[in-house]
Structure 1
Amino acid sequence: MNAVATLSHVHRFVPAGDPTVPPLLLLHGTGGDENDLLPLGAALLPGAALVSPRGRVLENGMPRFFRRLAEGVFDEADVRLRAGELAGFVEEARVAYGIGTPVVVGFSNGANIAAAVLTLHPEALAGAVLIRPMVPLGQMPAADLAGKPVLILSGAMDPIARPDEARRLAASLAERGAAVEHRVLPAGHGLSQADVAIAKEWLVRRAAGDAS
């Protein structure tokens, strides 16, 4: 499980223990890396193959998946560029590791780039768990997300990714046909045990449906 740099992103890969469950693409928050969400991925969907890339942008030495101009102000041209790069990496990883289309689990900055990939390159993802997301683009693309399952988890006391922002994202994705479930939890910006429990139940339920 050493970091691998042979594909376009430095990343970690954990092979599937149960090939009947979908693989997970794990996208860290600001300052994280390819190791951060591996324990979360293993807890959320036991047996799933895990692909965990490192963001390619540095902000004061901290990895991110795209540039921002200020707190909460995104460089939208860079969002589009990095979303395309990440979609390309997903395809590389699918070929290299022989895995299916992944469900993405993104936290904070990782959730924001996941939402961008979902709308700009919907074919790259089978679904999404977006934890503490914001709307990544002022003008969201007119994507066809028919039936694509999306779980959005917000923190009621989150000063960064406020629940009203996540509601706008949920509405935007639903307008494009996604099957969106949005939960607002009694939490701040950090990951809580409630997030883990809800995301696990959601993922296991959908994995069981896919396997049936």
Structure 2
Amino acid sequence: MSTIYRERPAAGEAEGLLVLHHGRGADEHDLLSLGDTLDPERRLHVVTPRAPLTLGGWPGYHWYVVPRVGYPDHETFHNAYRGLADFHDELWERTGIAPEKTIFGGFSMGSVMSYSLGLGADRPTPAGILAFSGFIPVVDDWQPDLDKRPRVFIAHGRQDPVMEVGFARRAKDLLEAGGLDVEYHESDAAHHIDPAHVPAAIDFVGRTLVGERAPR
């Protein structure tokens, strides 16, 4: 089944690709405005795919089933992984923008998928990973490939009741121990994107895809 998505083209020729994966219970519309915030000059092509699952009793769409936070359900995680892999491959072919000019970003469950596809041993390496309130998953048949070298931006709230801040700290420690370039931000926020972290995220996107600090 084809992935449903929204996109916002660059104002001119795109200098990179920003793919934003929404969190649990949201949809492809949720982070489209974040793309405008992170790329105010519209230098990038922004795409927001919809997760594949609907779950009884829950609104919106989900990337995988959650038996325990931090440990995705094996079958639904790998189904989402394969679907996103196909979507990313089609996107790179259609836009002509290469993986090395791409950032995978996301919030919550969408950050998990950004880590997973960005660090998957069988996948191309993106330029960067932008992880708001997420974690590197523990799931059978997937391990982060720390020989990959995307830049990584992590932002998390110490008051997060859904994905506690220890997940972000462990991701930072794991990636830095593997030699990756990690920019880490913490605040007293709960489970949301803290506006205080947005200026640093704008700079990260500008440095990673455009090669300069983004204007504010």
TM-score by length of 1: 0.85
State the AA in 2 paired with 1:132: S
**Equivalent residue of 2:7, what SS?**
strand
Q: Are the equivalent residues in 2 in contact too, given 1:116–1:137 (CA < 8 A)?
A: no
Taking a change above 3 Å as real, the CA distance of residues 142 and 37 of structure 1, as seen in their structure-2 partners, is closer
Equivalent runs, 1:31-180 vs 2, <5 Å: 31-46=25-40, 47=42, 48-59=44-55, 60-71=58-69, 73-101=71-99, 102-120=102-120, 121-123=122-124, 125-138=126-139, 141=143, 143-180=145-182
- 1:182 alignment partner, one of 181, 184, 200: 184
In the alignment, structure 1 segments of 5+ residues that lack a partner are: 1-6
State the AA in 2 paired with 1:21: E
Q: Are the equivalent residues in 2 in contact too, given 1:83–1:113 (CA < 8 A)?
A: yes
**Equivalent residue of 1:63, what SS?**
coil
In the alignment, structure 2 segments of 5+ residues that lack a partner are: none
For 1:15, the equivalent position in structure 2 comes to: 9
Q: CA deviation at 1:148?
A: 1.3
| 1:116-139 C-alpha deviation (Å, 9 max, x unpaired) | 112224415221110001231257
State the AA in 1 paired with 2:112: N
Aligned sequence identity (%): 27
Taking a change above 3 Å as real, the CA distance of residues 20 and 151 of structure 1, as seen in their structure-2 partners, is same
For 1:4, the equivalent position in structure 2 comes to: none
Q: Determine whether 1:191 maps to 2:208.
A: no
Count residues with an aligned counterpart. Answer: 205
Q: Are the equivalent residues in 2 in contact too, given 1:148–1:177 (CA < 8 A)?
A: no
**Separation in 1, partners of 2:185, 2:138:** 22
Range 93-102 or range 158-167, more displaced: 93-102
**Separation in 1, partners of 2:134, 2:70:** 11
Taking a change above 3 Å as real, the CA distance of residues 163 and 207 of structure 1, as seen in their structure-2 partners, is same
Taking a change above 3 Å as real, the CA distance of residues 159 and 68 of structure 1, as seen in their structure-2 partners, is same
Identify, as 1 or 2, the structure richer in strand. 1
TM-score by length of 2: 0.84
**Separation in 2, partners of 1:198, 1:114:** 19
Taking a change above 3 Å as real, the CA distance of residues 142 and 72 of structure 1, as seen in their structure-2 partners, is closer
Range 49-58 or range 140-149, more displaced: 140-149
**Equivalent residue of 1:129, what SS?**
strand
